[in-house]
Structure 1
Amino acid sequence: MPAHRLPAFAALLCCLPLTLAAADRITGQPFATRSEVHAPHAMAATSHPLATQIALDIMKAGGSAVDAAIAANAALGLMEPTGNGIGGDLFAIVWDPATRKLHGYDGSGRSPRALTMDEFRRRGLTEIPSHGPLPVTVPGTVDGWFALHERFGRLPMADNLAPTIRYARNGHPVHEVVAYYWDRSVPRLSRWPGFSAQFTIDGRAPRNGETWKNPNLADTLQKIADGGRDAFYKGDIARTIGDYFAANDGFLSYDDLAAHTGNWVEPVSTSYRGVDVWELPPSGQGIAALQILNLLEPYDLRSYGFGSPEHVHLFVEAKKLAFADRARWYADPEFHPAPVARLISKDYARERGALISMDTALREVQPGTPAQLDEGDTIYMTTADASGMMVSLIQSNYRGMGSGMAPPGLGFILQDRGEQFVLKDGHPNSYAPGKRPFHTIIPAFATKDGEPWLSFGVMGGAMQPQGHAQIIINMIDFGMNLQEAGDAPRIHHDGSTEPAGQNVLMTDGGRIELESGFPYETVRGLMRRGHRVQFADGPYGGYQAIMKNPQGGWTGASESRKDGQAAGY
């Protein structure tokens, strides 16, 4: 998050008495930048106000929460291309009131089949570049839309895409945070064919409040609305993509697109103080949140207090242990199945939790051996409709605006998710043709006594499982409401061994980045335990959430660090 967009409450919090960290200076209660939003019929929470309004309009017209999620996601691809678009991947969890169960969808794409490990070696590369043609994988978003729509949609797909097509043709004002990140992306990505012509105004990013149009994207979405899923994966769009990469030193082909399919998957869960928290299994990193919660459950965090040295220390140590397993076990399950049941079990957490000391920070953490003991930038949004259906959906181009590769006339950029592969033989996440890379984007859900309670997410790379765990802890242990849980200052630990890139081992304990609002007493207490603590402006993610109220209706919350909005009717 840019410094000028840090929420006003952050500056206020840094001046509070030590006993009131993350609390209002007058009441002493947890601080919120705005009230929770309540509505009797339906709710939407996205990172852009216009996308939220589109979702509500769709549900008012008789659409389901899934229809609304698709419509809002399409709008975000136009309005927030700094984080997502139809050149990226999609994951979702849906609560279906008809079957009274959760359904998960893994809409991630695979690497080009013509690109081999030998090709990277021939080019002298030890890691996959962050931009350009080489990190591009098959985009899975459009497939995800149609898979979700086939099961849970009520309106025609053309109706869901129509609002974005209109905005793409007629224009919309660019919002402040989007404009900031767009401006940062242009210098990096303008070298790639098609980017400047389709994503700049005379070579620069659109400014805050300036009208932006994308008629090429309108044409692409109209083809999808008219021709369905295959219009994207087997029609002219796929041929244009294939020809573009063939002409620009790339490997993604028409055949790669034509062969793509996503997967319905079973969400997995752990119980945290009586609340069941749900994530999707690898190749995503969702179960890291479950591992963190399992490791923290034995501790009375409430008695330590939010923002105390003990609270932050225990959270960071649990994160280190979970992320050591993340680096070792999370990968495409078709190539490297992870022992998920063991990783998220309470017994395994007790064994790993023995490594945590209340007085000393772990500097180096080896992964556990669960297989031997028993048998992986973004938008997040959520919707809920009058029938009780809830959708937790996350979608991304991966790094900012993606690879920079923008095929002519299509109006979108292909993702660079393949950067997450490791160019090392024998690693679970080593590159292979037709393989899904390790994925950072994860939706979350929580139930109480088998009933839906919370659809939520915190986007932002490795912050995501850390953010998921912090939202649950803030609500359950520290008694915060839905908005307060997102507004509370966040903890971000960096430096763990990663499942991707060069896979450098953590040997120095990493570093803690604390958002404004933690007292210096906590910083000193962490340093005494051996932690390195530093300040950072923006790695704290973006939060949206909808809660089902026991007495009926919905409560929504939205991220104060972004442009978003929660609204209902």
Structure 2
Amino acid sequence: MKSFTLYLCIFLLITKASYSQQTQKPPLYGKNWMAITGKPLAATAGAMIFQKGGNAVDAACAMLAATCTMWDVLSWGGETQALIYNPTTKKVIAINALGVAPTGATVDFFKSKGYDFPPEYGPLAAITPGTPGGLCYMLAKYGSLSLQEVLNPSIEMAAGYPIDAQTANSIERNKEKIKEWPYSKAVFLPHLGSKREAPAAGEIFRQPQLLATLNKLVEAEQQALKEGKNREEAIMAAYNRFYKGDIADEFVRGSAEQGGLITKADLANWTPIEEEPLHVNYRGVEVYKLQEWTQGPALLQSLNILENFDLKNLGYNSAQYIHTLYQTMNLAFADRDFYYGDPYFRPRPPISGLLDKNYAKKRAAMIPKDRNLMIALPGDPFPFQNESNPFKGLLKKRSLLLDSNSNEKIKDFVPKHDASNQALLNSETAEDSLYRDRLWRGTTSVVAADKEGWLVAITPSGGWVPACIAGNTGIGMSQRLQSFVLDSIVNPYNVIQPGKRPRVTLTPSLALKNGKPFLAFAVQGGDTQDQNLLQFFLNIVEFGMTVQQATEAANINSNQLWLSLGGTQMKDRVPKSGSILLNSNTKEGIRNTLKQMGYNMTFGERTSGPINAIFVDQEHGTFWGGSSNHGEDYGIGW
């Protein structure tokens, strides 16, 4: 018995040592507030708002505005998704500020052009803008400052800010695409005809058209205040000017001139929605995600499945832990790929069945102990909500589609709109490059907290470089239409239809413990978002990591899912069976074990994803901030 106890102690020490590493970035600390986002200047904008007396919602809106203005792989014409803990009501609320498919965006329209999926770039890739409306709504309902105060940092940046190397180089790489759109060319390429046509790193980048648009929003607010409107009404006057006034007129004109479909009615009829978030309890922690118009419930499903395993005893990133995690994610994402979609359209996705604990037990029982399940298929959650599945026939056809492609060489396709290090990509294998692109692409993240108890997580996106700018608004149009499908065999709940929201990858997260704020966490990275956030959460809850350690710790990623972005043909999106991304430091013994289990392994030096997070230290009444060591993500606390 003594020898067993000694062995157990040694094992636990070795396991703990593997993840108690010194972090590359220091953790952040604060007792009054915390602001973290994807760009240092944008984090500073959040700090400026806190210093003016704003709350975490005010600061989050300022960071959102700043990242859009800096083109941190998104712009003002994109979409915003948020979770907010309201200390007054002691509830988590969800903000759905995702745009919708415009008039004319039908299956027949895109199929007539030869597409299996809507296009990746240009005006035909656009849904209606959601970020301006989402920001105004959050600020009006839950902030404390004026729109003018919150937008001041962005207005100053639109007048001219020193552009960072990442954005400047992304513009230069994509300049040939940018030249297809006249308004984009005028904004992004100030040195047209020179060898380098994009701005240089550190150059003052000016956006006079966007500056005019932001000033128009502030003018509308200030005019409403002069007319005796209250703070909330004044902010919504700015909202109305964007969606129903002269800004809307120019946006629609500029879109139509370049071949876009968005109409004035599409803008006027759109509105952000305040929703009840979805949540599950994992070992005493309540985890909140947005509804099934995002991929967020896949994390909740994964937690329900993993609750059936002793993860702590398996050990952080042991072969059996990696295997269990990988199989779990594949099962959850198989359900995501087939069942998630806009819940405001019928039929409504079967989300109560998908999140049922007994359904999770059934899925957990499917995981083999000693081999890689090469093809994960959607389950049938309908019996767990006392209904019959209307798409059983489609499920059978779909499994045949996967079987027919499983032995083929599927094209490694991922859009390269946020590849931070092209030289590195060129030196890697195609599969490594696939993962890198997916990891770096798409969005940014914003998290904020304050001593009053407000806690905010936002994952905004859309309108990334190369963006098609809508007329003289200075606003890049979203590219999120590509996340729809045109064939119900892929996902009957996510087939494109005017007025419908696409199922998106964007997925902020909040967690409560003992009924109080515990974690705010978010990440960029397309389809890998909830994979990395799941492991971040487990790193803290199961393995006791600090928030900074958890943002940097080695994760795994699966490519065994349908891609949500990029490629207009079916073969571009099909899952890569058995493919797993591991950290380069994975030990040889673990590699050998996984190989024997049938895994197709690729490796990367950093596999944790660019996660930003805030841990609320309930014992000491302070904040710990974690900001990824991947790129330019940055935070400030006080």
- TM-score computed with the length of structure 1 as normaliser: 0.91
In the alignment, which residue of structure 2 is the partner of 1:407?
Answer: 470
Tell me the distance in 1 between the aligned counterparts of 2:108 and 2:544: 54
Measured at CA, do residues 205 and 529 of structure 1 come closer, stay the same or move farther in structure 2, by a change above 3 Å? farther
Tell me the distance in 1 between the aligned counterparts of 2:129 and 2:242: 10
- TM-score computed with the length of structure 2 as normaliser: 0.81
Tell me the distance in 1 between the aligned counterparts of 2:165 and 2:31: 31
Query: Cα offset for 1:60?
Result: 1.6
In the alignment, which residue of structure 2 is the partner of 1:75?
Answer: 66
Greater Cα shift, 550-559 or 135-144: 550-559
Of 120, 131, 135, which aligns to 1:141?
131
Query: Cα offset for 1:390?
Result: 0.9
CA deviation string 1:385-414 (max 9, x = no partner):
23111111110016x426x31123222210
Structure 1 runs not aligned, ≥5 long: 1-18
Measured at CA, do residues 205 and 535 of structure 1 come closer, stay the same or move farther in structure 2, by a change above 3 Å? farther
In the alignment, which residue of structure 2 is the partner of 1:354?
Answer: 365
In the alignment, which residue of structure 2 is the partner of 1:60?
Answer: 51
Greater Cα shift, 120-129 or 543-552: 120-129
Q: Which amino acid aligns with 1:415?
A: S
In the alignment, which residue of structure 1 is the partner of 2:396?
Answer: none
Q: Which amino acid aligns with 2:360?
A: A
In the alignment, which residue of structure 2 is the partner of 1:100?
Answer: 90
In the alignment, which residue of structure 1 is the partner of 2:210?
Answer: 217
SS at match of 2:182: coil
Q: Which amino acid aligns with 1:150?
A: A
Query: Cα offset for 1:206?
Result: 2.8
After superposition, residues 418-497 of structure 1 pair within 5 angstroms as 418-425=481-488, 427-497=492-562
Query: Cα offset for 1:332?
Result: 0.8
Structure 2 runs not aligned, ≥5 long: 1-12, 221-237, 387-441
After superposition, residues 48-447 of structure 1 pair within 5 angstroms as 48-79=39-70, 81-169=71-159, 171-203=160-192, 204-227=197-220, 228-335=238-345, 336-375=347-386, 377-397=442-462, 400-401=464-465, 404-425=467-488, 427-447=492-512
Measured at CA, do residues 535 and 193 of structure 1 come closer, stay the same or move farther in structure 2, by a change above 3 Å? farther
Query: Cα offset for 1:537?
Result: 7.0
Measured at CA, do residues 434 and 409 of structure 1 come closer, stay the same or move farther in structure 2, by a change above 3 Å? same
In the alignment, which residue of structure 2 is the partner of 1:9?
Answer: none
SS at match of 2:511: strand
Query: Cα offset for 1:96?
Result: 0.8
Query: Cα offset for 1:489?
Result: 1.6
CA deviation string 1:33-66 (max 9, x = no partner):
1221111111101111111111111112111111
Tell me the distance in 1 between the aligned counterparts of 2:608 and 2:540: 18
In the alignment, which residue of structure 1 is the partner of 2:412?
Answer: none
Tell me the distance in 2 between the aligned counterparts of 1:114 and 1:360: 47
| C-alpha contact 2:556 2:607 (8 A) present in aligned 1 | no
Tell me the distance in 2 between the aligned counterparts of 1:53 and 1:567: 7
SS at match of 1:134: helix
SS at match of 2:456: strand
* Aligned-pair identity (%): 32
In the alignment, which residue of structure 2 is the partner of 1:15?
Answer: none
| C-alpha contact 1:31 1:488 (8 A) present in aligned 2 | no
The structure with the largest helix share of the pair is 2
Tell me the distance in 2 between the aligned counterparts of 1:514 and 1:186: 33
Query: Cα offset for 1:32?
Result: 1.2
Query: Cα offset for 1:187?
Result: 3.6
| C-alpha contact 1:497 1:503 (8 A) present in aligned 2 | no
In the alignment, which residue of structure 2 is the partner of 1:565?
Answer: 634
Greater Cα shift, 196-205 or 462-471: 196-205
Tell me the distance in 1 between the aligned counterparts of 2:111 and 2:78: 26
Q: Count residues with an aligned counterpart.
A: 543
In the alignment, which residue of structure 2 is the partner of 1:516?
Answer: 584
Q: Which amino acid aligns with 1:313?
A: H
In the alignment, which residue of structure 2 is the partner of 1:4?
Answer: none
Query: Cα offset for 1:249?
Result: 1.9
Measured at CA, do residues 506 and 357 of structure 1 come closer, stay the same or move farther in structure 2, by a change above 3 Å? farther
Measured at CA, do residues 510 and 230 of structure 1 come closer, stay the same or move farther in structure 2, by a change above 3 Å? farther
SS at match of 2:526: coil
Q: 4+ runs of 1 displaced by more than 4 Å?
A: 19-24, 498-508, 536-540
| C-alpha contact 1:30 1:480 (8 A) present in aligned 2 | no
SS at match of 1:302: helix
CA deviation string 1:276-313 (max 9, x = no partner):
11101110010101111121122222222222111211
CA-atom RMSD in angstroms: 2.2
CA deviation string 1:477-521 (max 9, x = no partner):
221100000001221111324577666696763411123332232
Tell me the distance in 2 between the aligned counterparts of 1:538 and 1:112: 39
Measured at CA, do residues 29 and 57 of structure 1 come closer, stay the same or move farther in structure 2, by a change above 3 Å? same
Tell me the distance in 1 between the aligned counterparts of 2:60 and 2:320: 39
Tell me the distance in 2 between the aligned counterparts of 1:166 and 1:23: 47
Tell me the distance in 2 between the aligned counterparts of 1:388 and 1:339: 33
| C-alpha contact 2:74 2:444 (8 A) present in aligned 1 | yes
SS at match of 1:239: helix
Question: Which one has a bigger Cα radius of gyration?
Answer: 2
Measured at CA, do residues 537 and 65 of structure 1 come closer, stay the same or move farther in structure 2, by a change above 3 Å? same
Tell me the distance in 2 between the aligned counterparts of 1:105 and 1:255: 22
